[in-house]
Structure 1
Amino acid sequence: MPLDLKVGDKVELKKQHPCGSKDFEIMRTGADFRVKCLGCEKQLWIDRPNLERRVKKVTNKED
């Protein structure tokens, strides 16, 4: 079952970004996700299966 991820959600991933941060903000959803590293502000494109596999926890959900 797919995770319920929305634009604005903040997620913690299992592996860290090269800058050292594990926290990312979801910028775009769909078949591919655009996420922004909260450490260095770099934006990445990740497909849904890879992102769902890498998410450790959703740290902040906006309602």
Structure 2
Amino acid sequence: MEFALGDIITMKKPHPCGCRDWEILRVGADFRLRCVGCGHQVMLPRRLVEKNFRGFVKKTLA
């Protein structure tokens, strides 16, 4: 799966704020994601992101 900085993705489970969309801030072995709804940032391992990924909301042209 090809992820790029700035992509907005939908995850399987919603954040406690109710939003399922996340912006990718860092890509590598770990991902840094920012919740689009409330701005909270989390670090998740690539394996977990790829497992819970449901689709792209916005794909950057990078």
Would the TM-score normalized by the shorter structure come out above 0.5?
Answer: yes
State the identity %. 39
Match of 2:4 in 1: 6
SS state at 1:49 partner: helix
Aligned residues: 61
AA matched with 2:11: L
CA deviations 1:24-54 (Å, max 9, x no partner) are 0000000000000001000000000000001
Structure 2: distance between partners of 1:21 and 1:62? 20
- For 1:50, the aligned partner's letter is L
SS of the residue 1:62 aligns to: coil
TM-score, with normalisation over the residues of structure 2? 0.96
Structure 2 unpaired stretches of 5+? none
**2:10 match: secondary structure:** strand
Which aligned segments of 4 or more residues in structure 1 are displaced greater than 2 angstroms? none
The alignment's TM-score, normalised by the length of structure 1, stands at 0.94
State the match for 1:60 in structure 2. Answer: 58
Is 1:43 equivalent to 2:41 in the alignment?
Answer: yes
SS at match of 1:5: coil
